[in-house]
Amino acid sequence: MWGGATAANQYEGGYDEGGRGLSTQDVRTAGSRTRKRTVTYLDGEGNLKEATRFEPMGPGAKGIIVPGRYYPGHQAVDFYHHYKEDIALFAEMGFRCFRMSVSWTRLFPKGTETEVNEDGIRFYTAVFEELKKYNIEPLVTLNHFDLPLYLANERNGWCDRETADLFTRFAETCFVRFRGLVRYWITFNEINCMLDWNKLGIRTDDPQEFHQALYHVFLASAQSVICGHRIDSGNMIGMMAAYGAMYPLDCDPDTYFNHLQCMHNMQWYCDVQCRGAYPAYKQKELERNGIVIRKQEGDEKILKDGTVDFIGFSYYFSVVSRAGVNVSMTGDQSHAVDNPYLKKNEWGWQIDPVGLRSVLNELYDRYQLPLWIVENGYGSIDTPEYDSEGNITAIHDPYRIAYLKAHIAEMKKAVELDGVDLIGYTPWGCIDLISAGTGEMKKRYGFIYVDMDDEGKGSLKRYRKDSFAWYQKVIASNGEEL
């Protein structure tokens, strides 16, 4: 299934319309390549503070919107008011599927309500019906880095087990109300990084609490899978991890063993969701660190019964590990070891199409589940051409075409030569949207250009880039014509 991918907090906008409540993503400011995005919050004593996603906020922190500050997610690129136009453009490209996320607070503004916000249901129903008009299958991510701000500020975010149950209620509502319109689902986006993006949702750097919170996320996912299958046995519900290729720097046995551990740090999230239990190596690590997860009777069965139907993953770059250094798949690659065989994009991400074939093999060998590349793409600065009146006439993006072409070619090899069961490909940011890492607009991935700058200024008009016609051909030929 060829298509493209987006997420509500970076694409949808309309943050205070239709009865929507605030989410943890609504208090994230804009950043840049050199200046990290921050969360604005009041500390326990009521002082206004800011923290990057890598800094702890301490107990009592409450995310707030500071008047006059720019928060790029508020408007994003306004899918909320442009969905018909955008979907028509996706259809023109020949999309068979479209990945988007449902904003939790559009359905449950605080997260605790027992009644759903019907305006939110109306909005997403209209979107799904519009997709159906063009025979485009939605692939719906239930959680893409957002959490109701109320649950973060007034409760204890993911540290509270209740959050898992509230999430399951939200998921159940989606399965019931969108039944017949949506068949493909993902529970959590990039489950292996999501709590990093959600510091407000855990507000502690204590490893015990971090692992407790993560355990609640796994429970929420498994409970939702069970519920989604019960409501409609035709539902295909997947997991999603940030998964790149990892290479050991050299053949030093210590480097290799460290490499295995770095791989485990990425794989254990898949192990839990695909095999239904914490793997032995993780249990031992938790024991060694004195971490004891609080569980309830019946939890083991929930994890076992709530395993997923497919593995979705994002693939952008590869990393190199060496003894003593813990590398991971977070977007911030400032501490990464350079791979002399690869080139980087402007944000330091190492471009590695062959790595995608390796990863497809790795995941399929390990789990024998269908795979879906739900994100892949080239974030870059695009330079439009203008006519004498200042209208955009063309956007040439050969670098994007080259990146995607090389990755699709490796994907084909994985399917045709290696026998990998790959069911879908939805490149990231098929239409330009806000960067999750930097909050910028200029880090663009789209086939469709959106006229908006890093401060949110612009006409929001949509334009076809050169890659638009190229991808249209790729889809029409089922990947034969690259």
Active site residues: 190, 375
Between residue 8 and residue 47, which ones bind ligand BG6 under the rule CB under 6 A? 10
Looking at 72, 228, 379, 456, which residue binds ligand BG6 (CB under 6 A)?
379
Of 28 and 155, CB closest to ligand BG6? 28
Stretch 163-202: interaction string toward ligand BG6, x if CB under 6 A = --------------------------xx------------
Minimum separation from the CB atom of position 280 to ligand BG6 (A):
29
Stretch 429-448: interaction string toward ligand BG6, x if CB under 6 A = ------xxxx----x-----
Residue 333: both structure tokens together: 């690659």
Contacts of 131 by beta carbon, 8 Å cutoff, 6+ apart = 87, 98, 137, 138
Of 130 and 432, CB closest to ligand BG6? 432
Amino acid at the residue 255: T
Using DSSP's 3-state secondary structure scheme, residue 326 falls into coil
Between residue 109 and residue 128, which ones bind ligand BG6 under the rule CB under 6 A? none
Minimum separation from the CB atom of position 105 to ligand BG6 (A):
17
Q: How far apart are CA 336 and CA 238, in angstroms?
A: 29
The strand pair at 236-242 and 448-450 is best described as unpaired
From the list 270, 256, 243, the residue with the least C-alpha distance to 321 is 256
Q: How far apart are CA 404 and CA 378, in angstroms?
A: 8
Q: How far apart are CA 430 and CA 465, in angstroms?
A: 11
Choose the stretch contacting ligand BG6; rule: CB under 6 A; options: 39-47, 201-209, 428-436, 467-475.
428-436
From first CA to last CA, the distance across the chain in angstroms is 16
Looking at 1, 7, 30, 262, which residue binds ligand BG6 (CB under 6 A)?
7
Minimum separation from the CB atom of position 10 to ligand BG6 (A):
6
Residue 254: both structure tokens together: 């210590």
Minimum separation from the CB atom of position 234 to ligand BG6 (A):
26
- Give yes or no for residue 314 binding ligand BG6 (CB under 6 A): yes
Residue 419: how many CB atoms within 10 A of its CB?
A: 9
Residue 172: both structure tokens together: 């159940």
Contacts of 313 by beta carbon, 8 Å cutoff, 6+ apart = 240, 241, 242, 243, 359, 363, 371, 372, 373, 374, 375
Minimum separation from the CB atom of position 429 to ligand BG6 (A):
6
Looking at 428, 447, 449, 468, which residue binds ligand BG6 (CB under 6 A)?
428
Between residue 204 and residue 243, which ones bind ligand BG6 under the rule CB under 6 A? 242
Residues that bind ligand BG6 (CB under 6 A): 7, 10, 189-190, 242, 314, 331, 375, 379, 428, 435-438, 443
